[in-house]
Amino acid sequence: MREILFRGKRVANGEWVYGYYFSEIEFGDNGGVEHMYRETATQLHYIIAMEGGADMVFAETVSQYTGLDDMNGKKIFNRDTLDAGDRIVKVKWNKNCACWDSDWLSYKGERKSNGVECAEWNLRCKIICS
């Protein structure tokens, strides 16, 4: 079973935070989290709930962990850019196939194929841009 993990850039300081995704959150009188909602997707900012609290993050930076790591053991998230040796690809969710996929951005030499199979990500790819 794959790990369910999200990340986003914190509004307060621009640092990446990791945890669970919530689109809306309500805080109680004592400052604790009382209610979390996953249904609303129209908020300007999203919430990543961390151990012991929650952080507001920029909506456009929220991405999901693919369950796969690169050749250096770094977690690969949706929209990461990977160096696959002979090409540069961007990770995406393919809703038609209901699977993780990649789009080519550029080639380092002769073009041989479009994307890189996700089964190859941990063998020959490294993250160059998150």
- Is residue 1 in a domain? no
Of 24, 40, 61, the residue that ends a domain is: 61
pLDDT band for position 117 (cuts 50, 70, 90): low
Whether the per-residue pLDDT at 39 is higher than 60: the answer is no
pLDDT in tens, 7-32: 999 888 999 989 888 765 555 555 44
Q: What is the spatial distance between Cα 49 and Cα 19, in angstroms, rounded to a whole number?
A: 6
- Are both 123 and 82 inside the same structural domain? yes
In which residue are the tokens 């993250």 written?
127
Q: Using CA atoms, how far apart are residues 78 and 71, in angstroms rounded to an integer?
A: 17
Let me know if residue 102 belongs to a domain.
Answer: yes
How would residue 58 be classed by pLDDT, with cut points 50, 70 and 90? confident
What's this model's pTM, rounded to 2 decimal places? 0.75
Number of domains forming the structure of the chain: 2
Boundaries of domain holding 31: 6-61
Question: At 105, which CATH number?
Answer: 2.30.30
